């Protein structure tokens, strides 16, 4: 499929845009997708979005020279830099700005910790999963040690837990 904009290159990016319940599909090559991304940044700037979620205005005053700014130990970025750009400099910025980012993450995601998800069709709860994992390991050790009576008891407990699902 060719790019909808330049018609010269193969489309590798596929966008679906919904505006006032009207769906528009756009197939773009890498170059046109980059240009579209820059265009969208100018209309809907990431900095403005983050600024609206934080308790500050997009146009920030410069840091005062006498204020000691928290800096990332790896990339040297300050929290003020993050406020201006809306982007962190590296993975260690999360730890450096932990106190300030916590409130922002809660506003965006509803929490500041990722707890993961389990598939709906998975076997039992997370604690059941951990118990099963432990029992399987224990069963293997008992079979290796040729303690078959104990292994049979563990096997039956595993069957019971797996039968809950």
Confidence of residue 154 (pLDDT cuts 50, 70, 90): very high
Domain residue ranges in the chain: 1-44, 62-113, 126-163
For residues 82 and 60, give the distance between their C-alpha atoms in angstroms, rounded to a whole number. Answer: 11
pLDDT average, residue stretch 135-157: 93
Would you place residue 120 in the very low, low, confident or very high pLDDT band (cuts 50, 70, 90)? low
Residue 138 confidence (pLDDT)? 94
Q: Alpha-carbon distance 54 to 60, whole Å?
A: 12
Inform me whether the pLDDT recorded for 49 exceeds 60: no
Pick the CATH number of 1-44 from 3.90.1200, 3.30.60, 3.30.70, 1.10.3680: 3.30.60
Q: What is the pLDDT of residue 56?
A: 47
Span 94-122, mean pLDDT? 75
| Burial class of residue 107 in the structure, from the number of CB atoms within 10 Å of its CB (0-12 exposed, 13-18 middle, 19+ buried) | middle
């Amino acid at each position: 499929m060719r790019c909808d904009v330049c018609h010269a290159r193969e489309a590798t990016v596929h966008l679906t845009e919904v505006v006032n319940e009207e769906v528009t599909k756009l197939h773009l090559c890498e170059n046109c997708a980059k240009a579209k991304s820059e265009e969208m940044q100018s209309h809907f700037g990431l900095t403005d979005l983050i600024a609206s979620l934080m308790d500050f205005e997009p146009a920030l005053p410069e840091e005062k020279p006498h204020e000691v700014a928290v800096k990332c130990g790896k990339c040297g970025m300050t929290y003020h830099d993050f406020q201006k750009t809306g982007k962190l400099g590296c993975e260690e910025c999360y730890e450096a700005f932990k106190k300030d980012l916590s409130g922002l993450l809660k506003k965006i995601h509803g929490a500041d910790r990722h707890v993961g998800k389990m598939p709906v069709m998975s076997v039992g709860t997370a604690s059941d999963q951990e118990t099963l994992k432990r029992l399987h390991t224990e069963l293997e050790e008992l079979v290796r040690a040729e303690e078959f009576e104990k292994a049979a008891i563990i096997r039956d407990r595993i069957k019971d837990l797996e039968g809950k699902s």
